[in-house]
Amino acid sequence: MRTGEVFALTWNDIDLENKIIKVNKTVYSKIKDDKGRWYLGTTKTEGSCREIFICDTLYKILYNYKEKQELLKKKYGRKYKKYELESIKNKHGKINEYKIVENKHNNSKSVDMVFTKNNGLYVRTDIIKYPFKIIRNELGMKNCRFYDLRSSFATRTLRNKRCSRYFRTY
């Protein structure tokens, strides 16, 4: 997944029962105003809307993380930050993106963002930059961005599929 697709995930996008992640939006930054700077929009291309299988390891991590988040919501109570999506219309009146804004009225329009701090604060894409830099340096990887892992994963997956197809055929 692209970084923006990962951080756009809501719990509605993750089907733990069927082990599927639905990728259908991306998050990006714009000029900050009094409501914030983070927006949700369409994926990079139409073909970017897809479903991704959740492996057993990721399933356990997401399941435990969701349970932890539910406990933190109870712990923080009214102080737990919640968000809603504010529709943004273009000059023709069509909704083309949504702004992630704090839900201060605690109404039913609340959206459960997956990646939050303990108090519910939305963490944004910037949160991975420093930890990834440390991991990259420890592994001796130079000039590698978080996004580069996406193409590496795709290449390895395709290689594995070709190899397993080869062994099944012969």
For 32-66, how does the pLDDT look when each residue is reduced to its tens digit (9 = 90+)?
Answer: 777 778 899 888 888 888 998 998 999 999 999 99
Q: What is the pLDDT of residue 163?
A: 45
Q: Are 123 and 117 in contact (CB under 8 A)?
A: yes
| Strands in the chain per DSSP E | 14-15, 20-23, 26-33, 36-41, 50-53, 83-89, 95-102, 110-111
- Rounded to an integer, what distance in angstroms lies between the CA atom of residue 137 and that of residue 39? 31
Q: Are 100 and 9 in contact (CB under 8 A)?
A: no
> For the chain, what are the domain ranges?
3-124
Low-confidence ranges of the chain (pLDDT < 50): 162-170
